[in-house]
Amino acid sequence: MSLNPMHQFQVYKIGPEINLGGLNLSFTNASLFMTVSSVLILALLFFGTKKKLLIPSKIQLITEMSYTFVAKMINDTAGSAAKSFFPFIFTLFMFVLFSNMVGMLPYSFTTTSHIIVTFVLAAIVFVGVTILGFVKHGFKYLELFVPKGVPMVLLPLIVIIEIISYLSRPVSLSVRLFANMMAGHTMLKVFGGFVISLGLLGGWLPLGFSIALTGLEILVAFLQAYVFAILTCIYLNDALNLHH
């Protein structure tokens, strides 16, 4: 069973079963590792900002770097108008990053390798951005679906295509993160399984692959968090500044 590469994605409950009005709210390993990454983020930010040295310590440096990284990203992609959304994007980025990174540890569970987790994150972004657009521009926000300079005959078709393109945003956002994490972890496990089954004689080659893939996976873990955050910024920009 432990050689099954999909076994690592199994969700099982820890502790007693909690049933609230037909809803299964049991504490699972997924919830455990979400809590772990949240606590790690809080710990990093707490200890990083505790002693404010002029010459920063290592942990303070990491905190300041992540702050400036996200702040610069928002400024570059969404402009200064989006500065008030810094806490949201920072939270999103740190949560995805830490979930991915915690998943890289042996015996841990990758919460972002489940589509429901990533889809909820993407849906929050999608619904939030849509509401923001309507609040900011009223019904003018619907102009997003009507590009300028299109002949009247083609307009209904183009509007449907634009609406599909708008609705595909949360899907692409969530599927990208989920697929990357799941594929990567499955691949790692498959190569790990080869090491065991080929034994001492032939196991060295897949072991080398495993090590190389681990490096790649760490890169992908960071990259996906970055892509998730930067796309949120781009969608925010679309909602804040209608002309595009």
Contact call for residues 241 and 79 (beta carbons, < 8 A)? yes
Nearer to other proteins, 171 or 190 (CB): 171
- Identify the sign of the CA torsion 115, 119, 120, 125: positive
The C-alpha atoms of residue 10 and residue 49 are separated, in whole angstroms, by: 37
Nearer to other proteins, 167 or 196 (CB): 167
Cβ 72 to other proteins shortest distance, Å: 9
The C-alpha atoms of residue 8 and residue 28 are separated, in whole angstroms, by: 14
Nearer to other proteins, 195 or 220 (CB): 220
Binding mask 133-172 for other proteins (x = CB under 8 A): ------------------------x--xxx-xx-xxx-xx
**Sheet strands (E) in 52-198:** none
Cβ 231 to other proteins shortest distance, Å: 7
Nearer to other proteins, 170 or 206 (CB): 170
Contact call for residues 145 and 155 (beta carbons, < 8 A)? no
Q: Does 180 bind other proteins (CB under 8 A)?
A: yes
Nearer to other proteins, 138 or 151 (CB): 151
Cβ 103 to other proteins shortest distance, Å: 18
- Identify the sign of the CA torsion 91, 95, 96, 101: positive
Q: What would the two tokens of residue 29 be?
A: 């390993």
